[in-house]
Structure 1
Amino acid sequence: MKKQELHAVTGAYGFTGKYIAEILLKKKHSVITLTNSVSRQNHFGDRIKAYQYNFDQPEKLVESLQGIEVLYNTYWVRFNHKLFTHQNAVKNTLTLFEAARQAGVKKIVHVSITNPSLDSELEYFQGKAVLEEELKKSGVAYSILRPAVLFGREDILINNIAWLLRKLPVFPVFGYGSYRVQPIYVRDFAELAVLEGQRKENATINAIGPETYTYKGLIEKIGDIIGTSKPIVSVSPLLGYVTGYCISKFVKDVVVTKEEIKGLMSDLLAVDTQPTGKTKLSQWVQINSDIVGMKYASELSRRVNRESAYAV
């Protein structure tokens, strides 16, 4: 009988980490989570023990990772804010990698992004590239997964596109909307992560779904499925950002950033490789059409409120 292994998942009470943890538990592994939200409501109960990240106390981080076979790292921040920055996220992740090495973790499965580059002027993509390079040099076995866009019941991007389609009289797209996105279902991604955790070899994998959309086509498809098709208006990136900024003030969140617009329009959320996911976004939205976009999903609320479960 195969011995029960101990695995660590960052953010198991959140989005991607939750699905990874669920799969690991179904495989009869023991799971701990590293999180800034140890008191967040969750459905795991006492099946998962939660530890603070303790980035500022590396010795405690090392202690919490003792005996871990595989570390699944989903930790990151979407944008710079007074409460968090990409720079700090890079620093904290490097601390996590070093703690894992010192604790004797056998493998790290790390979530990156499509098309990271050390030369990128976009801090998100440049920071992800730095982490990939440092992980490869760490001496710990690794699998680097590069998703473009994740979707699922707790996601933000796809949900909020649907929410805007339900609320706005017209839908603005940046430029002509011809740049591509390749969304992958979060459970498919989690299954890939767990599979990679079992492999001995190092790997870097583009994690994309079976459908490729232009951004404009994505808006049209979601609108058609949920029955809220709206006229699509081409706007300049600046006007698109200003529109998003105004909506941000209304919802008390950050709807979109200049960096996100530039990354999207630079076709950085698409790659020319075979899909790893099997679930089609179009089918998933159809099945969940009575849920998607009914409520706005706030990034900042999740960061500030560390007790409520993510809305589904």
Structure 2
Amino acid sequence: MKQNELHVVTGAFGYSGKYIAQRLLEQGHRVRTITSKQPVLDPFQGQVEHHPLAFDNHNQLVASLRGASVLYNTYWVRFNHANFKHIEAVDNTIRLFKAAKEAGVQRVVHVSITNPSEESTLEYFHGKAVLERALRESGMSYAILRPTVLFGKEDILINNIAWALRKLPVVGVFGDGSYRLQPIYVDDLAQLAVEQGAATESRTINAIGPETFSYRELVATIGSIIGKHRPIISVSPNLGYLACSVIGKLVGDVFITREEIEGLMADLLYVDAPPTGSTRLTDWARKHAATLGAAYASELGRRR
């Protein structure tokens, strides 16, 4: 990868996109983001050019990608909502890929999910599989990264587990809590993305961290690290979802969805593969124990 090449990152003012953009800047590249957000405070102090994420305007989307060597795509939606839906995210991303090819983008680094399947009844995993196929069939060079759960300063899942441990006298897990997760540090994912942006071979990589937890172990470990040793009880998925829906209404957010519970319990956030990230969640959490979960992290708030 040559210095001063133009690289385009979707959502560089968001979560994982911000870390990818920062690493590209550190390597001396020009960085452009296509984004729906206009930050109050620019984390890059004007170093990242920004264009609107105009899925409904093909020519504008092509123009935003023209001249780029690599596109890093982090765009997606976590769940269906009145303002965004999985099926729309799939259609929008296919438009993005088509625009990238027309613009002459040489390579696409695309963030997917572990265990995607077009046969899945879960829209998240089904949609991610459809997009992987669309990228493979596009004719562009690609790297597909399949992370499980991300953690870092702006994380939602790990933070809100800690928040629940701080706020509630008892914490429930869905079923026996034996289903597994392999969290990867967001900057480790960014490092992997930039490394793959510099490569040429098309490949698919499971982007997982060095530690594997059962969900019950994860909750207990976080509780121990932040000094909140709460009783952990098993609840049925339906009862757990109902309790989480009440929490969601209280905080004005979607705490977790039925599909997310089903995906967790189906062990879809686990793969039998060597880790690609080196940062241990336990080490990171200890460094941030004082602030981890101190405030609720809102998915809808982030999108607003």
What band does the TM-score fall into relative to the shorter chain? over 0.9
C-alpha deviation, 1:86, in angstroms: 0.1
C-alpha deviation, 1:229, in angstroms: 1.3
Residue 73 of structure 1 aligns to which amino acid in structure 2? N
Instruction: Return the alpha-carbon distance in structure 2 between the equivalents of residues 106 and 18 of structure 1.
Output: 22
Give structure 1 regions of 4+ aligned residues with deviation exceeding 6 angstroms: none
Residue number in structure 2 paired with 1:182: 182
Residue number in structure 2 paired with 1:301: 301
Instruction: Return the alpha-carbon distance in structure 2 between the equivalents of residues 52 and 77 of structure 1.
Output: 17
Instruction: Return the alpha-carbon distance in structure 2 between the equivalents of residues 127 and 2 of structure 1.
Output: 34
Q: Partner of 1:45: helix, strand, or coil?
A: coil
Q: Cα deviation per residue 1:227-286 (whole Å; 9 max; x = unaligned)?
A: 001000100000000000000000000000000000000000000000000000000000
Residue number in structure 2 paired with 1:252: 252
8 Å contact kept, 2:13–2:39: no
Q: Cα deviation per residue 1:77-110 (whole Å; 9 max; x = unaligned)?
A: 0000001000000000000000000000000000
Q: Cα deviation per residue 1:9-66 (whole Å; 9 max; x = unaligned)?
A: 0110111000000000000000000110134433112100111111000110000111
Residue number in structure 1 paired with 2:167: 167
Residue number in structure 2 paired with 1:118: 118
8 Å contact kept, 1:38–1:51: no
- How large is the Cα RMSD of the aligned pairs? 1.0
Instruction: Return the alpha-carbon distance in structure 1 between the equivalents of residues 55 and 303 of structure 2.
Output: 17
Instruction: Return the alpha-carbon distance in structure 2 between the equivalents of residues 239 and 292 of structure 1.
Output: 26
Residue 9 of structure 1 aligns to which amino acid in structure 2? V
Q: Counterparts of 1:263-274 in structure 2 under 5 Å? A: 263-274=263-274
Residue number in structure 2 paired with 1:108: 108
TM-score where L is the length of structure 1: 0.96
TM-score where L is the length of structure 2: 0.99
Q: Partner of 2:46: helix, strand, or coil?
A: helix
Residue 220 of structure 2 aligns to which amino acid in structure 1? E
Instruction: Return the alpha-carbon distance in structure 2 between the equivalents of residues 133 and 40 of structure 1.
Output: 37
Number of residue equivalences = 304
Q: Partner of 2:7: helix, strand, or coil?
A: strand
Residue 148 of structure 1 aligns to which amino acid in structure 2? T
Residue number in structure 2 paired with 1:275: 275
8 Å contact kept, 2:241–2:258: yes
Q: Which structure 2 residue ranges, 5 or more long, are not aligned?
A: none
Q: Which structure 1 residue ranges, 5 or more long, are not aligned?
A: 305-312
